[in-house]
């Protein structure tokens, strides 16, 4: 099913599928065991234009929007969710910048972003501020033309490999959530160092590090938007990025099925392929249906998002304004509920599909000889990052309560 793809989206889908099969697949097992970042794949992503899929042509991108990004993320994750995170986490780190940046800031950062010359990362989570982003302790105090940043972030994907980090800080702790702001901090800035590297269950090919800020002087010119508006930009970012996690989950589920169905067709017991046993065939059918339903949900949402996102980007380029401001003028939909629904359903589906596929294939699937154990390990993170499944349920429930309250019911 093509999900009403336009010509560009179809080209992106085909090219990414080919890249994943030819370049990514031969590396996935080795890099997972080594738990190393692949600079070889980084170069392949750069050559393919992967980093610029969603960015405007003005900056060297393809202008494909959120849908193209999600499609690419699904196809890459279908082969290896960990290696897929190189362009994925760069998009996550750059989306808040792109939404809130002035025209001058876009000029400074977007060209190297589109080519992949510079990688980005998103730094929100802290030891005491995970699901509760309002509890963050990292501070940024004004000192002349600079902010002085102190604090620690952890579980930061792409770790040491990024060049720029979009960092959530508190510029006015007395105001709580309304004191949160976003700063762009460049690697190599004095006082900015890295702590421990996490030893993870899954997505091992993407390094996850602790970031430490000790009196780091960041130019005021690196503030995104206005002081105290950081939480708004973060929520807007997650609205656009959570469908990407959902797409990753769909890719993991589809990848698990891609490995399982051929095995069930060739594995024989009692003189016949085990997929001919009705119990197994029906389970596969159920898993495939849920995976397809997740895919349909993701792309129905991203296409609607792009119907507002792409015109807002065009207006921002024409008017020299932040994309966030142009989105506000459109008075379009708030995507929080829909993004949360996609992430919740697809993440749970990925975990179920991977788990059931391991069971269907039996002992071989519990070994590293067969890639299903990796799909199962990788699937779990989709239920955790960018808000756990419980956070997604909270978002959905809150939106529903408001909807029905507004109807007077």
Q: What is the CATH number of the domain that holds 173?
A: 2.40.110.10
Q: What percent of the chain has pLDDT over 90?
A: 91
Residues 334 and 213 in one domain: no
Catalytic residues: 386
Residues 144 and 80 in one domain: no
In the listed set 118, 139, 169, which residue is the last one of a domain according to the structure? 118
In whole numbers, what is the pLDDT of the chain averaged over residues?
A: 95
Residues 196 and 277 in one domain: no
In the listed set 86, 118, 150, which residue is the last one of a domain according to the structure? 118
Largest CA distance in the chain: 79
pLDDT at residue number 409: 55
pLDDT at residue number 332: 65
What six digits make up the tokens of 400? 């529903």
The tens digit of pLDDT for each residue in 375-386 reads: 999 999 999 999
In the listed set 118, 134, 166, which residue is the last one of a domain according to the structure? 118
pLDDT at residue number 333: 62
Task: Find the CATH number of the domain harbouring 88.
Answer: 1.10.540.10
Torsion sign over Cα 403, 405, 406, 409: positive
CA–CA gap between residue 131 and residue 398 (Å, rounded): 16
Residues 145 and 110 in one domain: no
What is the tally of structural domains in the chain? 3
Asked whether residue 2 is domain-assigned, the answer is: no
Torsion sign over Cα 168, 100, 46, 2: positive
Helices 81-100 & 372-379 angle (0-180, nearest 10)? 30
Asked whether residue 371 is domain-assigned, the answer is: yes
Residues 240 and 347 in one domain: yes
Asked whether residue 220 is domain-assigned, the answer is: yes
Residues 78 and 149 in one domain: no
Tokens 């380029």 correspond to 317
86 phi, psi to nearest 5 deg? -60, -55
Residues 267 and 392 in one domain: yes
Torsion sign over Cα 177, 181, 187, 193: negative
Asked whether residue 287 is domain-assigned, the answer is: yes
Q: What percent of the chain has pLDDT over 70?
A: 99
Give one DSSP letter per residue of 289-354, joined into a string: HHHHHHHHHHHHHHHHHHHHHHHHHHHHHHHT--HHHHHHHHT----HHHHHHHHHHHHHHHHHHH
Residues 212 and 313 in one domain: no
Residues 254 and 283 in one domain: yes
Asked whether residue 1 is domain-assigned, the answer is: no
The tens digit of pLDDT for each residue in 220-243 reads: 999 999 999 999 999 999 999 999
Residues 291 and 329 in one domain: yes
Domain enclosing residue 51, as ranges:
7-118
Residues 318 and 394 in one domain: yes
Residues 386 and 261 in one domain: yes
C-alpha closest to that of 39 among 27, 26, 49, 52: 27
């Amino acid at each position: 099913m093509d999900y009403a793809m336009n010509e560009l989206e179809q080209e992106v889908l085909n090219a990414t599928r080919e890249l994943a099969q030819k370049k990514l697949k031969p590396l996935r097992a080795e890099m997972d065991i080594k738990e190393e970042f692949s600079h070889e794949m980084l170069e392949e992503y750069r050559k393919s234009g992967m980093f610029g899929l969603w960015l405007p042509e003005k900056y060297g991108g393809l202008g494909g929007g959120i849908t193209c990004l999600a499609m690419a993320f699904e196809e890459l994750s279908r082969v290896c969710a960990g290696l897929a995170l190189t362009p994925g986490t760069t998009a996550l780190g750059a989306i808040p910048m792109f939404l809130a940046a002035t025209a001058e800031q876009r000029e400074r950062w977007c060209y190297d972003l589109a080519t992949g010359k510079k990688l980005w990362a998103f730094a929100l989570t802290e030891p005491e501020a995970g699901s509760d982003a309002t509890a963050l302790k990292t501070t940024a105090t004004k000192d002349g033309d600079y902010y002085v940043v102190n604090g620690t972030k952890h579980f930061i994907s792409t770790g040491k490999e990024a060049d720029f980090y979009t960092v959530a800080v508190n510029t006015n702790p007395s105001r709580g959530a309304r004191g949160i702001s976003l700063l762009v901090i460049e690697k190599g800035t004095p006082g900015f160092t890295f702590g421990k590297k996490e030893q993870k269950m899954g997505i091992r090919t993407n390094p996850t590090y602790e970031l430490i800020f000790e009196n780091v002087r960041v130019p005021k010119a690196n503030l995104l938007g206005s002081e105290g508006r950081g939480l708004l930009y973060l929520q807007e970012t997650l609205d656009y990025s959570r469908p990407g996690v959902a797409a990753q989950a769909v890719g993991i589920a589809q990848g698990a099925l891609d490995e399982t169905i051929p095995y069930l067709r060739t594995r024989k017991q009692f003189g016949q392929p085990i997929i001919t046993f009705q119990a197994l065939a029906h389970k596969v059918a159920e898993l495939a249906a849920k995976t397809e339903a997740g895919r349909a949900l993701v792309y129905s949402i991203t296409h609607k998002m792009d119907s507002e996102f792409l015109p807002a980007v065009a207006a921002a380029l024409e008017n020299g304004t932040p994309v966030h401001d142009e989105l506000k003028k459109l008075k379009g939909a708030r995507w929080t509920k829909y993004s949360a629904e996609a992430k919740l359903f697809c993440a749970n589906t990925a975990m179920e599909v991977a788990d059931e596929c391991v069971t269907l294939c039996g002992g071989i699937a519990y070994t590293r000889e067969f890639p299903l154990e990796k799909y199962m390990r990788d699937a779990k993170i989709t239920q955790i990052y960018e808000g756990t499944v419980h956070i997604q349920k909270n978002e959905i429930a809150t939106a529903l309560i408001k909807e029905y309250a507004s109807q007077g019911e």
